[in-house]
Amino acid sequence: MENWYLIVGLGNPGVDYAQTRHNAGFLLVERLADRWRANWELERKFQSRVAKAERDGRRVLLVQPQTFMNLSGEAVSAVSGFYRVPPAQVLVVVDDADLPLGELRLRPGGSSGGHHGLESVEQHLATREYPRLRIGIGRRDAAVREITGHVLGKFGADERELFAQVLAKAGEQVGCWLGAGIQKAMSQFNGPATDQPKQKDKP
């Protein structure tokens, strides 16, 4: 098998969930597929939409699990197992209501932070040591823990322009991860998406 890298955007399938905050991961991999001219195919054996690309000499699989968020690990495990992708080369992209809207946080591993999609991935990969990129979607009231309506809602008109900048910067961060590794991708891009990259060189 070739040496693959896996970029998984988590979200929920179907028109009812399209363009919602909870589908930030879906939106990023769709943007990457468009920029990289990769075509989506429904792979039923993986319960996923999959697009193949090549970046910086690396073979990349873009994945949208079709299992719904809470069962995302089933799809991630199926794809990574078939292509023999080690956890360190599986990047999972998720929304995060505990990060302000417009903020990015890439980490090489860690806890799920209560995100059910990450919990499922951790369960099925049997490890917490896989990279995850959290895309901040904020929350309306920091004191309110029940946020289902917020995360499943669509971006407001005042948020769309900022979120477009977020996706652009997140795409650059993913490219940096592929080309230069996770440490540089973290140091150069973690933080508010409206800031300029901390270094002039780009991936």
Provide the annotated active-site residues: 22
What count of other Cβ atoms lies within 10 Å of the Cβ of residue 52? 15
The β-bridge partners of 44 are none
CA 98 to chain centre: 16
Residues 136/105, Cβ–Cβ less than 8 Å = yes
Compute φ and ψ for 39, nearest 5 degrees: -100, 135
Please state, in angstroms and as integers, the Cα–Cα distance from residue 11 to each residue in 5, 8, 57, following that order.
19, 10, 28
